[in-house]
Structure 1
Amino acid sequence: MKTPILIGGFALAVLPAWAQLQPIPADSIRTILLQEVAISTKRHNHQQHLQEFYTANKAATTEELLSRMPEVSFIRRGSYGMEPTIRAYSASQVSVTLDGMRIQGACTDKMDPATIYIEPLNLQSIEVQTAGGSAMQGAAIGGSLNMKLAEAELADEPRLSGAVSTGYQSAANAVLGGLRLNYATPTWGLRASGTYRNAQSYRNGNSEKVLYSQYEKANIAINGKYLLQEDLILKADFIADDGWNIGFPALPMDVGTAKARIGSISLVRENEEKRWTRLEARLYANRIAHSMDDSARPDLPVRMDMPGLSRTSGFYVEGTTAPGANQQLSVRADASASYLEASMTMYQEGQAPMFMLTWPNNRQLQSGVAAQYSWQVNTKTQLQLNSRLNVSDFSVTSSEGRDQMAVFGSTGTERQFVIPAATVQLSRMVYKKLKASISGGINGRTPTASELYGFYLFSQFDGYDYVGNPDLKPERSMQGEFTLSWQEPRVRVQATTYASRVENYIVGAHKPELSAMTMGARGVKVYYNAPYALLMGAEASAVYNINGYTQLVSTLKYSYGRDAAGEPLPMIAPLRHVSSLRKYFGDNLWVQGETEIAAAQHRNSESFGEQPTDAFMLWHLRAGYQKETARKVWQLNAGVENIFNVNYREHLDWGQITRPGRNMFVQLSMSF
C-alpha cells in the first residue's frame, strides 16, 4: 500500500496554501492569516488571533501549529506521533475528533494519536475547547480537540485553482512537497490535496545525531461537494495517510508502518429563514493499522512485533436553532462502535515464538446526546449552558481474550458506563472594555481499553509493565474557571485561571507479587482508582498592535498537579513563555523575531521515576516575501529556529531525549 500513497503524495504533494499577506490596519487588532488552516477556540476567539499569527513556518505539522496555543502541549517520544494534552490533562482525558468523527488509535503505546493522520492542508480549522465546553464532542474531563476538514469550493462558473510548494529543513535534513487542487462549478466542487514528508534523524544542540528520530509519510485527502438544492449540500470525504520507517528514540521500539483510511458522507442544510438554521447528518468509518517493531535496533536478546488494529464506524446528527430572541440552541446525537485488537510476538533464538494479546479483542459501543444553549441576557451579560449524557458499553469479544484476563481473576469483562456532564458559564462586561467570565461544572470520562484490558503493556516512562483492571470506576471531575479579558482596537489581553478535582483518578499501582513480562522491567503496575487528584493552573496572552505594520504577541502558561497523598502528578509542564515581534515592510515583506522561555521543573513524581528538567531560552528568526504576478502568487518563507543551538528538552519529552538544535528552513510556494 506504500507505493500508491507515495506516488500520490508526490503527484498531489502539498503544503499550506494561501492567504493574502497584508499590512495591519492601524485601527484594527486583526492579525495576518498566513496559512489556510485557522486554529481557534469557540469560547475564546482571542486565541484565533494567536494561532493565525503563529503560522509563519509553513512547513509546520499539525502538532507544531497546535503547540502554540496556550491550552495545548504535547508529550513527545519522537519527532512523529506526539500525544496532545490540554492544560495538564493527558490524551485519555481529552476528546480528539476529526470533524466530529471518533478515531481510535491502534497503538497500545499511544504512538498514533489521531492528529498524526491529518495534515494542515487537510484542515479548515482546529477547535479547542476546555473542560465543560467540550460536551458537544464527547465525554471528557480535560476538554476537546476537533479538527475540521477543508471543503471543496463552488463557483459561478467552472474554474481550477490550487497551490504547490516545496521546502527543506536542515536539522533533520527534511524535505517536504505538496499540492492542493480545487475544481469548482455552480453545482459541484472537488478538492484534492496531498503531502509528502521525509525527515532523517535530527541533530540536537550538541550537534549529535539523535538516532531513531527519522520518519517518512504521505497523505492524500479528497473532498467532494454537490449542491442538491439551494440550501442542501451532499458532501463526501476520504483521507489516506501512510507512515513508515518511523523512529521513536525515547522508546525501545520503532514503527514499521502506520496506516489510516478515513471516509465519511454527510448532508448539510443551512437556511437562516428556517426554524433550524443549520442541520447536519453524517455517516463515517475509519480503519487504523499500526505495527511496532524493533528490527532496526541492534543487539537485542529478544525481538518483538506488536501489530495493532482499530476499526470505528458511527454517525452523528446535529442542529442549531434560535428558541427565542438573543438565544441560540445547538443539539447533537451521536453513536459509534469501535473494535480494537493488538498482540505481541517475541522471537528468541533457539526457542519457539511466544505470542500474547496485549489488547484482548474488545469492543466499545458509545452513544450520547448533548446540548449547548446561549442567551445574550442584555448588552453586558451572556449565559451559556453545556450538557451531555453519554453511555458506553465495553466488552472483550474473544474467548482467548477472556481466558487471558482470567489469569488475574477477571471473570466479568463487560462494563457499562453512564457519564453525565453539565457546565454553566456567565460572562459580563464589568468595566468599559473589561470582560469577566466564570464557569463551573461536572464532567466525567470512561476508562480506556488499555486501562480496562491492557495485558503487560510496557511503559518506557517509568519502566513498568502495566495490566488493566476491568473493575475500574470512571473518572469524575468538578471544575471551575475564571477569565478576564480586555479588548480595544490596538490591544487584546486575556488571562484565565482554572482548577479541577478529579475523583477516582486512574493511575497504576505497583504489585510486587506479580512478575514482569518485559526483560529489564522494574515490575508490574495494575491500574486502580486513586481517591482524587488536583489540577490547576493559569494562562495569559496578549496581542499588541504597535502600529499599522508592527505587532507583538505574547503567551504565558503554568500548570500544577498533585495526588491525594500530596505527591506531584507526572508530566506537568513548568512555567512557559513565548513572545514574538513581527514587522511588515510594505505589502510584500515581513520579518519576525521570537523567543521561547521555559522554567526549570523540579516538582517531579518520584513514584514514576520522573527526572527534573532544566530551564532554557530559545531564539528564532523568520521572514516571508510575497510577489503577485498575473494570476499567480509566489511566496518565499525562510528562517532559523534555535539560533544559538541550545541543547534542551521539554519536561513532557520522554527518555531525556533532547530536541533539535539549530534548524534553518526554506520554503517556496506558488498559488493560482
Structure 2
Amino acid sequence: MITLRHSYLALAISSLLATPVVANQAAFEIIEVSGSHLTDDSTISREANVPVADISSLLSQLPGAAVNGNGPLTGIAQYRGLFGDRVNTQVNGVTLAGAGPNAMDTPLSYASLVNSERLEMSRGIAPVSAGTNTLGGSVKVVESQARFDEFSGKVAARYQHNGEQAHLGAKTNFGTEQQALLLYGDAMQANANQQTGAGIDIAPTTYDKAIVGGQYRFNLSDKGFDDESIAIGYQHLETTNAGTPALPMDIDFIRTDRVKLEGQHLLNNWDINWHLAYSDARHGMDNFSERVKNDTASARYNNADSKSIDGSVSIAKAAWLFGLDTQWSQHDSVITDPTKPMFKVDNFNGVTDNTISAFAQWQQDIDQWNWQLGLRVKHYQTDADAVNHSMAASMPAIKVLMDRYNAADRSQSQTGVDLVVNGRYQVDESLSWIVAAARKQDSASYQQRYLWVPMQSTGGLADGRTYVGQMDLSLETAYQLELGADYQDNRLQLSPRLFWQRIDDYIQGINATDKAVIMAAQMMGDSHPLQFANVDAQLYGMDISARYRLNDQLQLDMLASYVRGERRDIDDSLYRIAPPNITVGLNYQRGAWLARIEALGVSAQHKVSSTQQEMQTSGYGLVNLSLAYDADIWLVKAGVNNLFDTEYQEHLGGYNRVANSQLALGERMPGTGINAWLIGEYRF
C-alpha cells in the first residue's frame, strides 16, 4: 500500500501528492491525499498546488489519472485513458446516480470540500472489493465521520483572483462515549468568468454552490469501543447559475438530497459493514440564461431528475472478504422550448438501470509473495418507457425513430464476471516487484442504450457531436496486465508501472448509417451523426512517481504519465486521451514554513480520434509557486499558478459550445491564465 500525505487545509484545497510510504503486506496500492496537517512522518514533496472548486481537480495530480473538464464544477474522472462510468467513483462509500444526462452533476461534484478527508485511488488494477464496475479503476472520496469522545472543528476559506472565486467552509464534531454528531457546510461562488493567459474570457464559468450536511452516530458497543455503531447521515446540495462552456447547455439549478444509513458490527470475529443510501436529484439546464444564444438558435430547457439507491454489505475475517452490492436508479429528462409551449421531447423516459453483484476476495502472504485473488459476479438489468416527440407528426424521420423505439423490446438483462489477481514480491526491505492481471466486464451507460433521437446527451463526452443509442450493446470485456516496482531507500523513492489492456466490445460512437438517424440529425444541423456501438480497442502506457531527498529541508519529486488508446478494428485512436505529461517539484520545509516551485510539462496530442473529428492540441509548460506557514491550529498559504500567464489549450477540456463569446464556436477550450490565490484555516 502506498500512502501519500501532505499538509493542507482540506482535501478540497490540495492538489498534489505527498510522500509515498510502502507497506510490505499490501498486494495493491492506495494513493491517499489527506487533509490533515503535517506530522513528523510526512513531508511536502507533493505540497498543495492551488485551491479547487471541485475535488475532481485533484485527480490530475495522481499517477495515471486526469480530469475531463466540462466546466469549473463538472470534472469527470479519467484513469489511464478510460473515463466516465468506466471509473468506479464513490463519495462517502456509496455510488449514487446524478440527474444530468450530460453529467453536469458528476459523482465527485457531490463531495463536500471541507468535510472530505482524503482521496483514495486504487493504482493499477483495482481489486473486486473496490466496487461493482472497476474496468477503468476506482476513485473514492473518504469524508469525515462523526467521532465519539471528541470535540473538534475547522473553518477554512480561500480566494482566487482569476474568476473571483471564493470558498468558505466549516465543520464541527460533538462526541460523547455513546453518541456523536457531525455538522458541516460549504459555500462556493465565482463572480466573474475565468480568463486565459491572453486575457480572453472563458464564458460562462461563474457558479454558485452550497452543500450542507451532517451525521449522527450511536455506539452499540458495551465495552466503550467505537468498532460497533450505527449512523445516519444527510446531505443537501444546491448549485445555481453555473457555466459549462464545453456542453450545449449550462446549469440553471441542481438540487439533491441524499440520505445514508450505515453500520459496523463484530460477530464471532467477523467484521460486518453495511450501508443503504438514497438520492433524489433534480436538475434544470438551458442554453439562454448564462450564455447569449444566436438569434437563429432555438431556446431549449431540460428538466431532468433521478432517484437512486445504493446498498452494500461486506463481511471479513482473516484473509477472506465477502460482499454483496446493489445499485438501482431511475432517470427522466424532458426538453422544452420556453418560447413554444407546444414543443416537448422525451429525452429519457422512465429509464431504469439496476445492478446486483456479489464478490469474494482472498489475500495472503506466502513466503516473499503477497497474493490477492478476487471474483465478482454481477447482473445488469435495464429498461425504459415509451417516448414522445411533439414534432413527430411533421417530421417523418423523427416519427420513424420514435415508433421504432416504442415498438422495441427495451428490457435488457446481462451477467458479467470479474477475475483479478494482484501480487507483490518483496525482494528486500528496499525493493518489491508488482504483477497483476484481470478479466473485467462493464455494461453500457443508460445514455448509450436509450438515447433514441440524435442528441448530445452523452454523459459529458463534450465532442460537439450528436449521437443515438443502441439497446442491445454487449458488455465490454477487458483483459488487463500490469508490471511494476517499488523502490525506497533513505533518499530515493521510485514507483514505475507498465500497463496494457485489450478491450473487446468497447463502446464508442461510430458513423451512423441509418437513413432516419441521418435525416433527423440533419434537421438539427449535424450531417454526420454517430451511433453508439461495440468496437475493439486497446490501451497501454506507463506512469511513474518518484522522489529524492536532497537534504533535511529540500526534496525533489516527479510525476509522469503516458497512455496510448487505439482502435483494433480500424486504424484510429480513441477519443479524449490525456496527453503525455510530467510534473517536477522542488519543496522546502523549515519548521512551520513550507514552500514549493513546480514545473508542469504537457506534450502535444496528435493521436486523436478521426471518427469523432477530434482536434489535435499543442504542448505547453506551466510554472506554479506556493508559500505557507502551518502552525498547530492555523494555516495561511498563498501562491501563484501559471506564473508566466501562458496561453494554452486543454486537450481534455472539450470544445467551446458558446456562441457570441470571445472564443470561436467549436474552438478548443483554453486553460486559465495567471491565478493568484490565498487560503487559510483555523482548527480546534
Shared fold (TM-score, shorter chain, > 0.5): yes
User: Could you report, residue by residue, the CA deviation over 1:165-209 in whole angstroms, capped at 9, with x for unpaired residues?
Assistant: 322101111111121111121211111111111112111110122
Provide structure 2 residue ranges, at least 5 long, that are not aligned to the other structure.
21-25, 34-41, 390-398, 656-667
Matched, 1:163 2:154: yes
* Cα pair 2:114 2:156 within 8 Å, conserved: no
What is the match of residue 37 of structure 2? none
Asked whether the 8 Å contact 2:545–2:560 carries over to 1, the reply is yes
* Residue-by-residue CA offset, 1:566-622 (whole Å, 9 max, x unaligned): 21111111110011111112x221111111100111112112111111111100100
How far apart are the structure 1 equivalents of 2:298 and 2:472? 33
SS of the aligned residue for 2:85 comes to: helix
The Cα of 1:51 is off from its aligned counterpart by 9.6
What CA distance in whole angstroms lies between the structure 1 residues aligned with 2:45 and 2:107?
22
Q: How far did 1:552 drift?
A: 1.8
What is the match of residue 109 of structure 1? 102
Q: 2:374 aligns with which of 386, 393, 412?
A: 386
What is the 5 A alignment of 1:656-671?
A: 656-671=668-683
Residue 423 of structure 1 pairs with residue 420 of structure 2: yes
Q: Which residue of 2 aligns with 1:507?
A: 508
The answer for the alignment partner of 2:532 in structure 1 is 527
Q: Cα deviations across residues 197-223 of structure 1 (Å, max 9, x unaligned)?
A: 111211111012211111110111212
Is the contact made by 2:432 and 2:487 (CA closer than 8 Å) also made in structure 1?
Answer: yes
The whole-number CA distance in structure 1 between the counterparts of 2:560 and 2:185 is: 35
By how many angstroms is 1:524 displaced?
Answer: 2.5
CA distance 1:557–1:394, shift in 2 (3 Å): same
> What fraction of aligned residue pairs are identical, expressed as a percent?
20
**1:86 CA displacement:** 1.2
Q: Is the Cα contact below 8 Å between 1:83 and 1:111 reproduced in 2?
A: no
8 A contact 1:109–1:457 mirrored in 2: no
Cα distance change of structure 1 residues 522 and 292 upon mapping to structure 2, 3 Å threshold: farther
2:365 corresponds to which of 376, 392, 396: 376
- Whether the aligned pair in 2 keeps the contact of 1:93 and 1:141 (CA below 8 Å) is yes
Which moved further from structure 2: 41-50 or 288-297?
Answer: 41-50
Structure 1 stretches lacking a partner, 5+ long? 1-28, 323-327
CA–CA distance in structure 2, aligned partners of residues 390 and 304 of structure 1: 38
Q: 1:612 aligns with which of 596, 612, 616?
A: 616
| Aligned amino acid, residue 268 of structure 1 | Q
**What is the TM-score normalised by the length of structure 2?**
0.86
Please tell me whether the aligned partners of residues 247 and 254 of structure 1 are also in contact (alpha carbons under 8 angstroms): yes
Q: State which of 584, 588, 604 in structure 1 corresponds to 2:592.
A: 588
AA aligned to 1:316 is S
What is the RMSD computed on CA atoms of the aligned residues? 2.5
Q: How does 1:37-116 map to 2 (within 5 A)?
A: 37=11, 43-45=28-30, 53-55=46-48, 57-59=50-52, 61-116=54-109
**Secondary structure in structure 1 of the residue aligned to 2:136:** coil
Pick aligned residue for 1:207 from 199, 209, 213: 199
Alignment of 1:271-350 (within 5 A): 274-276=268-270, 278-296=271-289, 297-298=291-292, 299-300=294-295, 301-322=297-318, 328-347=319-338
Q: Does 1:33 align with 2:7?
A: yes
Q: Which amino acid aligns with 1:471?
A: D
After TM superposition, give the deviation of residue 426 of structure 1 in Å. 2.0
Q: For residue 179 of structure 1, what is the aligned residue in structure 2?
A: 170
Give the secondary structure class of the aligned counterpart of 1:464.
coil
Partners of 1:35 and 1:466 in 2: CA distance = 43
1:468–1:526: 8 Å Cα contact kept in structure 2?
yes
Partner of 1:233: 229
Q: Which residue of 1 is the match for residue 344 of structure 2?
A: 355
**Conserved 8 A contact 2:9-2:156:** no
Judge which range, 532-541 or 390-399, deviates more. Answer: 390-399
Per-residue CA shift, 1:16-68, capped at 9, x if unaligned? xxxxxxxxxxxxx9854334549899822466689993435455631122221
Q: Tell me which residue corresponds to 2:38.
A: none
Corresponding residue of 2:574: 569
Q: 1:248 to 1:209 in 2, by over 3 A?
A: same
SS in 1 for 2:652: coil
Amino acid across the alignment from 1:594:
E
Other structure's SS at 1:503 match: strand
The question of whether the paired residues in 2 share the 8 Å contact of 1:291 and 1:305 is answered with yes
- Secondary structure of 1:353 counterpart: strand
Q: Is 1:640 the counterpart of 2:632 in the alignment?
A: no
Distance 2:566 2:4 in 1: 39
- Aligned to 2:555, the other structure's residue is in SS state strand
Contact 2:357/2:378 (<8 A) preserved: yes
Structure 1 partner of 2:446 = 449
Aligned residue-pair number: 624
Report deviation, 1:544. Answer: 2.1
- One-letter amino acid of the counterpart of residue 482, structure 1: L
Q: Is the 8 A contact 1:237 1:263 kept in 2?
A: yes
SS at the partner of 1:341?
strand
User: Aligned equivalents of 1:477 and 1:353: distance in 2?
Assistant: 46
Residues 287-316 of structure 1: CA deviation (Å, up to 9, x unaligned): 222211112332343000112111111321
Q: Deviations over 1:230-250 (max 9, x none)?
A: 442111111111111011122
Task: Find the counterpart in structure 2 of residue 435 from structure 1.
Answer: 432
Task: Verify the 8 A CA contact 2:113 2:169 in the aligned structure 1.
Answer: no
Give the secondary structure class of the aligned counterpart of 2:103.
coil
In the other structure, the counterpart of 2:245 is: 249
Q: CA-to-partner distance for each residue in 1:538-559, whole Å, 9 max, x for gaps?
A: 0000122322222222100000
**Mean alpha-carbon deviation: is it higher for 396-405 or for 218-227?**
396-405
Q: Secondary structure at the match of 2:416?
A: strand
Shift in alpha-carbon separation, 1:410–1:453, aligned structure 2, 3 A:
farther
In structure 2, distance between residues paired with 1:403 and 1:287:
34
1:623 to 627, 636, 655: 627
Q: What TM-score, normalized to structure 1?
A: 0.88
Shift of 1:409: 7.7
Between 1:91-100 and 1:363-372, the stretch displaced more is 91-100
* Secondary structure of residue in 1 paired with 2:651: coil
- More deviation, 224-233/234-243: 224-233
Say whether residues 1:542 and 2:527 are aligned partners: no
* TM-aligned CA deviation for residue 418 of structure 1: 0.3
Q: Secondary structure at the residue paired with 2:466?
A: strand
Q: Which residue of 1 aligns with 2:39?
A: none
Check whether the contact 2:581–2:600 (CA below 8 A) recurs between aligned residues.
yes
Report if the CA contact (8 A) 1:72-1:87 is conserved: yes
AA in 2 matched with 1:411: A
Given residue 527 of structure 1, which amino acid in structure 2 is its aligned partner? F
Aligned mates of 1:52, 1:289 — CA distance in 2 = 41
Is the contact between residue 125 and residue 438 of structure 2 (CA under 8 Å) also seen in structure 1? Answer: yes
- For the 8 Å contact 1:347–1:353, the answer to whether it is kept is no
Amino acid at match of 1:391: H
* Contact 2:173-2:181 at 8 Å conserved across structures: yes
Please tell me whether the aligned partners of residues 602 and 620 of structure 2 are also in contact (alpha carbons under 8 angstroms): yes
Give the deviation of 1:410 after TM superposition.
5.7
Deviations 1:244-294 (A, max 9, x none): 1011122231110112211111111258xx521x21121110122221111
2:622 partner SS:
strand
Secondary structure in 1 aligned to 2:29?
A: coil
Aligned to 2:194, the other structure's residue is in SS state coil
How far, CA to CA, are the matches of 1:31 and 1:417 in structure 2? 41
Cα distance in structure 2, aligned partners of 1:612 and 1:648:
13
- 8 Å contact kept, 2:30–2:120: no
Aligned to 2:145: 151
Change (3 A) 1:377 1:291: same
